[in-house]
Amino acid sequence: MSDTNLSETLKLAIDLISRTSVTPDDAGCQPLMMKRLDAIGFNTEPLRFGEVDNFWARRGTEGPLFVFAGHTDVVPPGPLEQWDSHPFKPELRDGFLHGRGAADMKGSVAAFVTACERFIANHPDHKGSIGYLITSDEEGPATGGTVKVIEHLENRSEKIDWCLVGEPSSTDKVGDVIKNGRRGSLGCTLTVKGTQGHVAYPHLADNPIHRITPALTELCAQAWDQGNDYFPPTTFQISNIHAGTGATNVIPGEVEVVFNFRFSTEVTPEQLQQRVEHIFNQHQLNFTTEWNLSGMPFLTPKGELVTAISDAIKETTGYTPALSTSGGTSDGRFIAPTGAQVVELGPLNATIHKINECVKVADLDALSDIYERILENLLTDR
């Protein structure tokens, strides 16, 4: 692919997408970024935890500290034959850059770097400090990535004031939506025991699927809360049900049900667990539950960071973004508890994790311009 007439952001995005960084493999993306950051005065610090590569970079020693947070890992591409072009051989077609990670989130990561390069060239003596927190474990279990880097920073009392996460937040046009919070995520694996037997002799067995069905119906009908000004109501979804031996004439001895809550700040994980188990007890189930809290809800109300980002989008695009807390979890859930203001801003999310993932080329350059303006709004006296 020729570099003729390609912007610096697009060239870097192409280079990053070309690297097969399926989680948790970084595949050389982070050294490429660190080399660019070293060249503009950052102190870069590779941080490996287990099999996960991360890095922390900082330019400046004074506060306030503004941080770009993101990830270089991508989800597996799926069947290659279903792609119109190879997922790790990026192609430009009809004004779009195609490839795995184009939108989630190598495009954002490229825009981070080029925005910073221009900003520092124009403002070498900017106020405060700029940081980068980059991981290769966002799309996986997220146990050796951002959470570990935050622990590392907390242990040496290095505090983030403002954090921009490059997750694809936009809906119809770049910057039309920013995420100033996320719902919590609480999962559960439920096992209900019965008695295995022959389907022709149900009186000699106890079918756990029949036992659990009324309880699941009741759970699906529950109103868990009404949400609030910032969060939609809490939702409950069943994602998996497994039972049986595979034979049509055997009543199973147990059934496993996997479900998840995406919850607002109106309820706690403990309250959800208590309500669920109360319903199971009411239905006299012989059950066990294994709960997994993968993230608490967080919120950054209107203030310095939200204002700086909203103004930057308005100044660059002419429109004002909407604030949202919808969508899945992000690594912001590990950063917000430290007291940092956290906002997510990235490209359109229409093709993330899909076959033929892509991003509009013009959006990458617009995103880089917005990021640069955010730095100007927060770290200069303009």
By annotation, the residues acting in catalysis are: 73, 138
Exposure pattern of 72-82 as b/e (b: 16+ CB <10 Å)? bbbbebeeeee
Locate 12 and state its tokens: 């870097």
Taking each helix axis as running N to C, give the angle between helix 29-38 and helix 107-122, from 0 to 180 degrees, rounded to the nearest 10: 10
- Sheet of 91-93, strands arranged across: 91-93, 96-98, 358-360
Report the 10 Å Cβ neighbour count for 159: 12
Sheet holding 184-193, edge to edge: 235-243, 254-263, 184-193, 287-295
Count the neighbouring beta carbons within 10 Å of the beta carbon of residue 247. 10
Contact 118/372 with Cβ under 8 angstroms?
yes
The crossing angle, in degrees rounded to 10, of helices 8-17 and 29-38 is 150
Please compute Rg for the chain using Cα positions: 24
- Residue 372 CA: distances (Å) to CA of 94, 103, 377: 27, 19, 9
